Chains A and B, each alone.
Chain A
């Protein structure tokens, strides 16, 4: 009988352990938050502080006085406008080509048995395991005037003069598409994998041809993945440096190349910072729009 009353919540002690249980829960939460603390600290020190510092710099003129000079110059000088136009052009075209190449590839992968798909996925991800610089140099070796493609093309008699394949817009696009393609394929593949195959079977049983079923069922449901991949590729392109610098041959100036020039050639930290701030703002706007777009698609239940 005594043991029974010891477990009775309304027993003589009257202790329902509420305070203790609350304390346990708090401790558990703090422990979990503690796991994220090192990463948070790192992001603060290496990201927020320098960006904030650059942000401040962009509003100071050469004498250290508060001014909007750098932003004014960006609007006044047409070369800045050209740089931004080039950046957007390259980013847009790269994204488009990535969609055209990546969508069929992701579709193919999503229809394979899982094991085969994983193997193929390794092939897609393989470039990630080599350095960006090496991959870009590899394209240089292939595309330059005395490169593999020109040598072979001329030997086979396809063309007689070396083609200008690199150090221009085309070369830059080739290199960037190659590097960006996995960023398009990965989210697309994930979304497509999650689409229930019975949906296409259902469409077929209801009288839908495979092509009609693709456009009315599969494609709309793959849109969130397409939006995510496109946003990722576009945003990464906006800030790309190495590939346009090497394959563009100085003829393709993107914002990041301009920033590097401003600092390395002109030691103009203020102008570089202002460019960085504008690029950051544009990137954020693109991301917000993409999130809106894919949430819009999600509204129709596609994320389900």
Chain B
């Protein structure tokens, strides 16, 4: 029931258009790493397109950081292949991989000032001093840090340190940039601003970027494509929109966005859940069970007579959480399934419905997504 193929991929198009000759593709093949009997990377295949911004997303222990560290060369896999363009790099020492890397804790050299930090890769490449000074200042300007060259690292705020780390990672024009949760140490507002800055930077440079995060919103905001990792395997790789609209598995649906789930029973071509016959774009034909994903913002609170073109459910309110821009209503459907729905607040609509109030909610047939039952494979 995946609506494969007909998702727009504007970012992909943009990326390949601006993807200059310098952008390198990354091809990972059957990459495995185990600690004892526990596989951390389990025969991973991954293709990062030239100039693409790809995010590795997953819970802790899913292997996303391990995969990044293997690409960077800091972790030796047990077997498999990693290629940058045509070049096999799996046995290449990290300092020969020409990668711009940004670390979670910035990893700035505390005994060097800002300019010496940013100039570090240029000095290693024996760039003439005058050109180093020029390129360092240009890189700092790019991150609104012009004139900060002589500052000590401990005089900078978290956001400034992150910018210095970025400047240092791009100043030598690497063809691949790797980032390991670079924004997780920043507060929420700064993080959101940096997300946009990073995205703009990527659009300007067009460098192939692999980004690791556990923050699904960050992944959706920034990426051309998102690879979701689960226990050392890639559970799903696609554009943010395709993944959000049709997660394809319960694991992905739970990880991306908030969702409620309904058990659906399929018999004789009819799907039923919580006492309602379900209509969906692609109903399973075999007998069995599947799961319906209910995104809180795709659910509607229905008045009398509404609900045309929707799957409708009756229930009652169990609680309401006022969140400023939205009101999160907790409900329980007849039959006992808890479902959350989000209503945009506009002011002047009065107090939220009291617990116990009967309620009718609906979801458009076009928004109705059914997931295969994990145990039995495709529905």
Contacts and interface: CB of A to CB of B under 8 A. Distances in A.
B100 interface: yes
A208 interface: yes
B110 A205 contact: no
B244 interface: no
A201 B74 contact: yes
A217 B153 CA distance: 14
A201 B101 CA distance: 9
A34 interface: no
Interface in A67-113: none
A202 B153 contact: no
A209 B124 CA distance: 9
Interface string A194-212: 0010110111111111101
Contact of B105 (A198, A213, A221, A300): A198
Q: At the interface, is chain B mostly helix, strand, loop or mixed?
A: loop
B120 interface: yes
B152 A301 contact: yes
A58 to B, nearest CB: 44
Contacts of B322: none
A302 B172 CA distance: 26
B94 interface: yes
Contact of A209 (B95, B100, B111): B95
B126 to A, nearest CB: 11
B110 A207 contact: no
A198 B165 CA distance: 12
Given A198-B107, A300-B110, A206 B154 contact: no
Q: How big is the A interface, by class?
A: 20 to 34
B105 A205 contact: no
A207 to B, nearest CB: 4
Contacts of A203: 95, 109, 120
Contacts of B143: none
A15 to B, nearest CB: 39
B255 interface: no
Q: At the interface, is chain A mostly helix, strand, loop or mixed?
A: helix
Contacts, number: 80
B121 interface: yes
A52 interface: no
A217 B116 CA distance: 12
Contact of B95 (A204, A216, A301): A204
Contact of B121 (A196, A207, A210): A207
Contacts of A201: 72, 74, 94, 101, 103, 107
Contacts of A210: 95
B111 A302 contact: yes
Contacts of A213: 95
A208 B101 contact: no
Interface residues of B, number: 31
Interface string B303-347: 000000000000000000000000000000000000000000000
Contacts of B153: 301, 304
A207 B98 contact: yes
A12 to B, nearest CB: 38
A203 B95 CA distance: 8
Contacts of A216: 109, 120
A208 B172 CA distance: 13
Contact of B154 (A198, A205, A217, A301): A301
Interface in B150-167: 152-154
B105 A207 contact: no
Interface of B: 72-74, 93-95, 97-101, 103-105, 107-112, 120-121, 124-125, 152-154, 168-169, 172, 178
Given A198-B105, A207-B124, 13 more contacts: A198-B103, A198-B107, A201-B103, A202-B108, A203-B95, A204-B93, A206-B101, A206-B169, A207-B95, A207-B125, A208-B95, A208-B120, A301-B154
23 contacts: A196-B105, A198-B107, A201-B72, A201-B74, A202-B109, A202-B168, A203-B120, A204-B73, A204-B94, A206-B95, A206-B101, A206-B124, A207-B98, A210-B95, A212-B124, A213-B95, A216-B109, A217-B109, A221-B111, A301-B153, A301-B154, A302-B111, A304-B110
